[in-house]
Every structure is written in C-alpha cells, then in structure tokens.
Amino acid sequence: MRRTVNQVTGAGRFAPTPTSPLHLGNLRTAVAAYLAARHSGRQFHWRVDDLDRDRIQAARGIAEGQLDDLTRLGLTHDGPVLYQSDRELAYQTALDQLSDRVYECFCSRREIALAAQAPHASDGLRPYPGTCRQLSTADREQLRQERPPALRIRTDDVVYWLTDRLAGPIDQPIDDFVIRRSDGIFAYNFAVVVDDAYQRVDQVVRGDDLLSSTPRQAWLAEQLGLPVPDYAHLPLVVGPDGTRLAKRDGAISLDRLINQGWTVPRLLGLIGQSLGLTSADETDLAALTDQFDWDRIPLKPWVLPPELVAGN
C-alpha cells in the first residue's frame, strides 16, 4: 500500500518515560507509531514523560539515550521535543477547569487495597471505592493535619465506550481516579490528555499494557472539551516463556543489538516482520511506511526468538 500524503492535519507521537533504556519492545512500539503517523500524512512528535522528578533524577542521562536511540533508527520528528516537566502551568490551568468535579482524597494505596468493596478488576485495575467523596469540611481539615491529599475527579462511575483500532470495542466503568498525586505531581492519566491536545495528537499507538487506562483518558478529554484521539494498542512483546518484556529486560537494547552485529536495516526488518509488513530480512523506514497496513498487524503478542532474550 502506498502512503497517504497530507491526508490529515493531526499527529502521532512516542512518549517514553526516562527511567530505563528502551528495550526492543519499546523500539517496536516507537517504529509502529512512526509508521502509522507517516503513512497517514500525520506529523510525528516526541515527548518525554518526566513528571516524576525523583525517579528521573535516579536515572540520569536516560532521556538523552532514549532520544538518541530513536534518532539512530531514523525516526524523525516534527517540532521540538516536549518535556512534561516544563508543562506544570498548563496542567494547573486544565485542573482549574475541573474544580467543581475535583475533591481531596486522603486514602493510601494500602487502605484502598483493603477496602472490601474494591476487588481487583479483570484488567488489574482496582476501582476507587469512594471513601473520601462525601467527607465533611471538618473531616477534611482534620485529615490534612495527618497527610497531604491527592486530588480525584468525580466520575459518577460512568461507563465509557470506545473502539480501539486493534483491540476493538471497549466498555469500562470509570471510577474516581487521581489527577494529582499527594506529592503534588500531576498524574499520568491527566498530563497525557493535556499534552496530546497541545501537540494536536489525534492518533495514539502504544502497547496494550496501557489499554485499560484509555477509557479514563478519553473520558477526561471530553470533560476538558478536548478531542479524543484514535487509539491503537499493540499486543506486547514477550519472551519465549510468554512473559512480557519489562524494564529488567533493558539489556535487549539498541546498543546491545548493534554490539551483537545487528544493523539498523536488519533490526527494521525484524520489527517489520513482527508487524506483518514485510518478509525482508533488511529494510528501511520508507519501505515500511509504504507497506503499512493496520489489517496486517498480528493481534497476538510477538514472541521473541530465544537468542534475543537477555542472558542468552
């Protein structure tokens, strides 16, 4: 299939959290997001999700390494790289728009976990039981003396429906979720919505480990009067034993692969094969962009060959 040029005015993006080097699963997602954007004529943006300063400071230099990896793969971007750490004023402005829907929450994770009415959902989410929703003014004043509050948004447990490009129809109850943590850091589910709208991102391609958070983000975009992007969640990359790649698998990095003799064309060939786009052992981004087709992407996890798994 030939790529579509200037079909849309929106953008795609890749937005890693700089706490560990990108592993092969991250690189595959970045390539997929790039191909989907460029094939449709969209711009492509990079964003660094560096809100959690303590975690970022404990992993110095990671962001620069991640962006360098994207550059070496040839994933060009449009406009400057956006850093979430520079965006607190924008988040506060958005929060002010929701002031009548936001309330203080003093619950710890342990207290929520122990709540009898908060069982694990099948997707791993633990719905908030509403403990602090109806606190009196006096109760809130007393609790502020004991611990700083997080901020939650009242959702009235609405059920949100959307259709994901790869995962299909999704319907999910949305609990009162945190939009600013008790340490003052804006929550991912809040910041990502504000930033996607700012960067005119109307196509989000990412791993399906984030699928369960998508109804919250789409619902929140609507509450802020912002457009809801089209979502596509890729099945994850897993090892030969079926376990997903994680940060501990950062050894399957671009540096390691290159040191083992992999070239960028060969790596793009491997990623292209995993996305069902090519049978070539070596290729380039232009060829993969031309060949991009949503219908060819496998709807099951990509199992890595044993020789690629860290420690082998």
Q: How far apart are CA 112 and CA 247, in angstroms?
A: 27
Query: Do 167 and 71 lie in a common domain?
Result: no
Task: Identify residue 212 by its one-letter amino acid code.
Answer: S
Q: Are strands 237-238 and 302-303 parallel, antiparallel or unpaired?
A: parallel
Last residue of a domain, one of 180, 199, 232: 180
Residue 185, in any domain of the structure: no
Residue 64, in any domain of the structure: yes
Query: Do 49 and 127 lie in a common domain?
Result: no
Query: Do 150 and 283 lie in a common domain?
Result: no
Beta bridge partners of 150: 105
Please report, for the domain that includes residue 74, its CATH number.
3.40.50.620
- The DSSP annotation for 24-43 comes to HHHHHHHHHHHHHHHHTT-E
Q: What is the pLDDT of residue 113?
A: 74
Q: How far apart are CA 270 and CA 34, in angstroms?
A: 16
pLDDT in tens, the chain (312 residues): 334 444 568 999 999 999 889 999 999 999 999 999 999 999 999 999 999 877 777 667 899 999 999 999 999 999 999 999 999 999 999 999 999 999 999 998 887 777 645 444 445 567 888 889 989 999 999 999 999 999 999 999 899 999 999 999 999 999 999 999 999 999 999 999 999 999 999 999 999 999 999 999 999 999 999 999 999 999 999 888 888 876 655 578 999 999 999 999 999 999 999 999 999 999 999 999 999 999 999 999 999 887 777 544
Query: Do 112 and 172 lie in a common domain?
Result: yes
Instruction: Confirm if 187 and 180 have CB atoms less than 8 A apart.
Output: yes
Query: Do 222 and 102 lie in a common domain?
Result: no
Query: Do 194 and 280 lie in a common domain?
Result: yes
Chain-centre distance for alpha carbon 113? 24
Q: What is the pLDDT of residue 280?
A: 96
Please report, for the domain that includes residue 149, its CATH number.
3.90.800.10
Q: What is the pLDDT of residue 9?
A: 80
Query: Do 95 and 149 lie in a common domain?
Result: yes
Q: pTM score > 0.85 for this model?
A: yes
Q: How far apart are CA 84 and CA 82, in angstroms?
A: 6
Q: What is the pLDDT of residue 225?
A: 97
Query: Do 19 and 117 lie in a common domain?
Result: no
For residue 58, which of 110, 103, 20 has the smallest C-alpha distance? 20
Last residue of a domain, one of 126, 145, 180: 180
Last residue of a domain, one of 125, 153, 180: 180
- For residue 189, the SS3 value is helix
For residue 33, CA distances in Å to 39, 95, 233 come to 10, 29, 10
How is residue 103 written in tokens?
């309330």
Q: How far apart are CA 170 and CA 112, in angstroms?
A: 25
How is residue 137 written in tokens?
């003014």
The domain containing residue 119 runs over which residues? 91-180
The tally of domains found in the chain comes to 2
Q: What is the pLDDT of residue 6?
A: 47
Query: Do 279 and 210 lie in a common domain?
Result: yes
Query: Do 158 and 261 lie in a common domain?
Result: no
Helix (H) or strand (E) holding 102: strand 102-105
For residue 67, CA distances in Å to 70, 100, 205 come to 5, 39, 18
How is residue 217 written in tokens?
């983000």
Within 10 A of 134 (CB to CB), how many other CB atoms are there? 8
Alpha-helix runs per DSSP H in 75-167: 88-97, 109-114, 137-144
Residue 285, in any domain of the structure: yes
Residue 259, in any domain of the structure: yes
Query: Do 218 and 268 lie in a common domain?
Result: yes
For residue 199, which of 226, 217, 174 has the smallest C-alpha distance? 226
Residue 310, in any domain of the structure: no
Instruction: Confirm if 304 and 239 have CB atoms less than 8 A apart.
Output: yes
Residue 240, in any domain of the structure: yes
Chain-centre distance for alpha carbon 288? 23
Query: Do 163 and 67 lie in a common domain?
Result: no
